[in-house]
Amino acid sequence: MASSISEDELSHIFTELWDVDDNRCLYGEDYELNLQSSLRRSDGDADRSSEPLFLWLDEDRVLARPTYRAFAALLDNYELAVGIPESVTAEELSENAAFIQACLDTRPMRAAHRFLAGRGLASQSVRGFAAELDQIWFHMYKRVRGGPRNLQDSSAFEHVFVGETRSEDGSDSEAASVTGAHNWLQLYLLERAGRLNYFGYYRRGTAAPGVNGQPGLAALKFSLDDGPVKPRGGGFVGVSPEFELALYTVAFLCCGGQRPQARIGPHRVRVYCHTIGPGRLATCYPELID
């Protein structure tokens, strides 16, 4: 690992974040899925699910919660195609700060801060930690290959939580495939808008939510805006935005550039945490091991 954090320590903090995520959505009360057909690698681009992934989500209840509301306000702030410069307005900077503050007021993010600050991996002060979160998640950088050296077309938040599109040659294109997009609420909103086509799920890699309303993990195949199929994507389902922000921040600061394994609640998970240059988070997402 990039630091001296052991797998047992990671399992402890990851499970603590899971246990204190009291703002998670409850399966059967806040939302339901329709997973339908499981997939095989031999299926290629075949669509094995004729119905949407989400049966329903109680938007009045879920999107009224402070962190969910602040999260949803960020989703229309980006040009999804890599290679197109991002223009960040004062209003968007304010929305970024509001989301970070809303997360800092929650138990998962406070637990993450204590853990990281106690190991010298984050500022001791809440204000300092907020600035670090802004740098990790919202600092713009260049993701596309080629083009101007000073191009700023991406951020960690955009890739992980919102999703990006990229054509085979790296340029903007109507046939661009989706990359990133590991947040379940964003997938719901894209599907509701008629932009996401769900193809099915992989049985290996999926732990369906539902036991006592608990969240789960899902390995999915889907396409965006009638573009090429994303052969495997997804992540947690039912967790709160602050849980994911806290967990991925811990993973990045402890294990950036690596794929640590740890227990997260009842699940054993590998967390992919790729970087793009020194100190820049490229992507972070979970993969169920058992």
- In 3D space, the residue among 264, 216, 260 whose CA is nearest the CA of residue 16 turns out to be 264
Q: Mind telling me the catalytic residues?
A: 159, 182, 230
Question: Six-digit token pair at 178?
Answer: 């989706």
Name 272's Cβ contacts closer than 8 Å, sequence gap at least 6: 259, 283, 284, 285, 286, 287
Report how far residue 168's alpha carbon sits from residue 149's, in angstroms, rounded to the nearest whole number.
21
Instruction: Please state at what angle helix 241-255 crosses helix 126-138, rounded to 10 degrees.
Output: 90
Name 155's Cβ contacts closer than 8 Å, sequence gap at least 6: 86, 137, 138, 139, 140, 141
Phi, psi of 84 (to 5 degrees): -100, 125
Strand partners, 273: 284
Name 199's Cβ contacts closer than 8 Å, sequence gap at least 6: 39, 45, 46, 47, 48, 49, 220, 221, 222, 223, 229
Q: Where are the beta strands (DSSP E) in the chain?
A: 31-33, 54-57, 164-166, 177-179, 196-201, 216-224, 229-237, 261-264, 267-275, 281-288
